[in-house]
């Protein structure tokens, strides 16, 4: 009897730039009750996938737990050495034992980087188009990664939606939560602390004044980050006129500047070294003073630059908020050093410095607005976002399969080596 051959990506925990595209051939087990079997069809690769690898074993994150190693024996069965990383994208339900998700359904969510199908124990959420994975091992994963969205016919058949949603949908939700909840203007809700509903004691001072962006200058770096320009778009084009910042400044490398300007999401685009080389010009151009409210949002700026900009802005104004949404990919990848660096940063956060946690922000949004209403609002806004002309600055670069330079293997190597251009969005058809 011939069995179908599948492939999956496995990375080395000691150096996650080292990957192995492994074949799997054999019978799939019978599908358990209350389960669906999903095969990834379209996934996106971004620097966020590297962040998932960096934080793979970190308590509270546990990205490696989302899709465990499938092997019981053999060279890739050692979970102390190897792991799997997941990606956002579309999957096809190829088998089902639940009546609310029939075979043939397409889902969007957090899926394995593999053509090998995965089994998920699921339950219906309060929203008819959303299911939640309840597999025992997924309890270690943050709730935001356990939600799967049923695609209607139009979205399921749209290559544009599948491409941009694989790259941007979850990153967009991060920016949606920041705009709608953290920097809330709705008088019916209290602004949500960036660190979530239960922040550490030294971060529990987020107030309505903290959230007020009226007449504030928002500085975003790196401006080419997909999450970053999503936030700039939300602040400039979605936020009510009277609640918008006075200026949204994108900080970019010279290589990415043309892409950042093409997004048309920022009022002003400047270079990283402007804080060092042209601080007085920057102050004059932005109309900053000692009392100006400035929000510095770091989405993974180059090493050293977030500290440089923080020092320079602190010297200009006594009202600077620092928001850490992402971290830069280091030139040399060392998971243990990364974990130690992250713990040190958390322990040494300066006053008015806040880490951002999208999962707990989503929990807050669902608490205030209701699960279905909040998540459906994010979906509607994302549909509007991918029709925004500036999004087309990000070109969909389609690849096929797992192996080779045009497959996942080549894309992962490009991201790890830092050779991916800001205007390139890597998406892959896997099956």
200-226 confidence digits (pLDDT tens): 766 778 999 999 999 999 999 999 999
Average pLDDT value for residue range 30-54? 95
Q: Are residues 214 and 120 in the same domain?
A: no
> Which residues have C-beta within 8 Å of that of residue 208, sequence separation ≥ 6?
190, 191
Cis peptide before 330 (omega within 30 of 0): no
- Asked if the model's pLDDT at residue 389 lies above 70, the reply is yes
- Asked if the model's pLDDT at residue 339 lies above 80, the reply is no
CATH of the domain at 16: 3.90.180.10
With respect to residue 125, please indicate whether it lies within any of the assigned structural domains.
yes
Three-class secondary structure assignment of the chain = CCCCEEEEEEEECCEEEEEEEEEEECCCCCCCCCEEEEEEEEEEECHHHHHHHHCCCCCCCCHHHCCCCCCCCCCCCCCCCEECCEEEEEEEEEEECCCCCCCCCEEEEEEECECCCEEEEEEECCCCCEEEECCHHHHHCCHHHHEEEECCHHHHCCHHHHHHHHHHHHHHHHHHHHHHHHCCCCCCCCCCCCCCCCCCHHHCCCCHHHHCCCCCEEEEECCCCHHHHHHHHHHHHHCCHHHCCCEEEEEECCCCHHHHHHHCCCCEEEECCHHHHCHHHHHHHHCCCCCCEEEEEEECCCCCHHHHHHHHHHHHCCEEEEEEEECCCCCCCCHHHHHHHHHHHHHCCCCCEEECCHHHHHHHHHHHHCHHHHHHHHHHHHHHHCCCHHHHHCEEEEEECCCCCCCHHHHHHHHHHCCCCCCEEEEEECC
With contact defined as beta carbons under 8 Å apart, do 266 and 250 qualify? yes
In whole angstroms, give the CA distance from residue 124 to residue 98.
Answer: 10
With respect to residue 370, please indicate whether it lies within any of the assigned structural domains.
no
- pLDDT score for 173: 97
The pLDDT tens digits for 167-176 are 999 999 999 9
Nearest to 346 by CA among 2, 8, 58, 14: 58
The pLDDT tens digits for 238-297 are 999 999 999 999 999 999 999 999 999 999 999 998 887 777 787 888 889 999 999 999
With respect to residue 367, please indicate whether it lies within any of the assigned structural domains.
no
- Asked if the model's pLDDT at residue 350 lies above 70, the reply is no
The pair of structure tokens assigned to 261 is: 């300007």
CATH of the domain at 321: 3.40.50.720
In whole angstroms, give the CA distance from residue 112 to residue 426.
Answer: 16
Tell me whether strands 5-12 and 15-25 are parallel, antiparallel or unpaired.
Answer: antiparallel
- Asked if the model's pLDDT at residue 23 lies above 80, the reply is yes
Q: Among 25-34, 68-77, 330-339, which is the least confidently predicted range?
A: 330-339
Q: Are residues 72 and 183 in the same domain?
A: no
Q: Are residues 192 and 313 in the same domain?
A: yes
Q: Are residues 249 and 318 in the same domain?
A: yes
With respect to residue 421, please indicate whether it lies within any of the assigned structural domains.
yes
Question: Domain limits at 193?
Answer: 171-362
Q: Are residues 106 and 209 in the same domain?
A: no
- pLDDT score for 336: 61
Q: Are residues 116 and 224 in the same domain?
A: no
Q: Are residues 129 and 211 in the same domain?
A: no
Q: Are residues 74 and 204 in the same domain?
A: no
% residues pLDDT > 70 (the chain): 92
- Asked if the model's pLDDT at residue 386 lies above 90, the reply is yes
With respect to residue 69, please indicate whether it lies within any of the assigned structural domains.
yes
In the beta sheet, which residues pair with residue 88?
Answer: 110
% residues pLDDT > 90 (the chain): 76
Average pLDDT value for residue range 112-136? 96
In whole angstroms, give the CA distance from residue 63 to residue 58.
Answer: 8
Q: 255 φ, ψ to 5°? A: -65, -30
The pair of structure tokens assigned to 220 is: 């975003």
The reported pTM is 0.92
In the beta sheet, which residues pair with residue 321?
Answer: 295
Q: Are residues 112 and 55 in the same domain?
A: yes
Q: Are residues 146 and 189 in the same domain?
A: no
- Asked if the model's pLDDT at residue 349 lies above 80, the reply is no
- pLDDT score for 58: 80
Number of domains in the chain: 2
- Asked if the model's pLDDT at residue 1 lies above 50, the reply is no
- Asked if the model's pLDDT at residue 367 lies above 80, the reply is yes
The pair of structure tokens assigned to 321 is: 């908020």
């Amino acid at each position: 009897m011939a069995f179908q051959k599948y492939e999956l990506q496995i990375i080395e925990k000691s150096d996650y730039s080292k990957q192995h595209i492994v074949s799997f051939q054999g019978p799939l087990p019978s599908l358990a009750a209350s389960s669906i079997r999903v095969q990834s069809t379209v996934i996106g690769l971004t620097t966020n996938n590297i962040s998932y690898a960096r934080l793979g074993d970190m308590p509270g994150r546990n990205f490696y737990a989302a899709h465990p190693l499938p092997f019981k024996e053999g060279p890739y069965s050692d979970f102390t050495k190897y792991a799997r990383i997941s990606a956002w994208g579309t999957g096809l339900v190829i088998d089902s034992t639940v009546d609310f998700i029939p075979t043939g359904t397409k889902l969007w969510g957090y899926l394995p980087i593999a053509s090998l199908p995965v089994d998920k124990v699921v339950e219906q959420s309060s929203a008819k188009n959303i299911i939640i994975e309840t597999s025992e091992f997924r309890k270690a994963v943050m709730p935001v990664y356990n939600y799967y969205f049923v695609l209607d016919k139009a979205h399921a058949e749209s290559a544009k939606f599948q491409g941009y949603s694989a790259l941007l949908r979850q990153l967009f939700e991060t920016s949606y939560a920041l705009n709608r909840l953290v920097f809330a203007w709705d008088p019916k809700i209290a602004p949500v602390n960036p660190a979530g509903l239960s922040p550490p004691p030294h971060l529990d001072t987020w107030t309505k004044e903290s959230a007020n962006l009226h007449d504030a200058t928002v500085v975003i770096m790196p401006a080419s980050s997909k999450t970053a320009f999503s936030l700039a778009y939300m602040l400039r084009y979605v936020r009510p006129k009277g609640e918008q910042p006075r200026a949204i400044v994108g900080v970019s490398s010279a290589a990415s500047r043309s892409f950042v300007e093409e997004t048309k999401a920022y009022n002003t685009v400047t270079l990283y070294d402007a804080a060092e080389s042209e601080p007085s010009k920057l102050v004059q151009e932005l109309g900053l003073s000692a009392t100006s409210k400035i929000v510095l949002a770091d989405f993974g700026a180059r090493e050293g630059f977030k500290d440089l900009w923080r020092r320079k802005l602190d010297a200009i104004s006594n009202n600077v908020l620092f928001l850490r949404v992402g971290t830069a990919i280091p030139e040399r990848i060392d998971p243990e050093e990364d974990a130690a660096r992250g713990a040190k940063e958390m322990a040494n956060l300066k006053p008015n410095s806040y880490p951002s946690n999208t999962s707990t922000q989503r929990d807050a949004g669902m608490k205030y607005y209701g699960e279905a209403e909040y998540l459906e609002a994010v979906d509607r806004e994302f549909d509007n976002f991918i029709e925004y002309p500036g999004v087309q600055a990000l070109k969909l670069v389609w690849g096929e399969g797992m192996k080779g330079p045009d497959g996942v293997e080549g894309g992962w190597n490009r991201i790890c080596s830092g050779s991916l251009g800001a205007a390139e969005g890597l998406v892959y058809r896997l099956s």
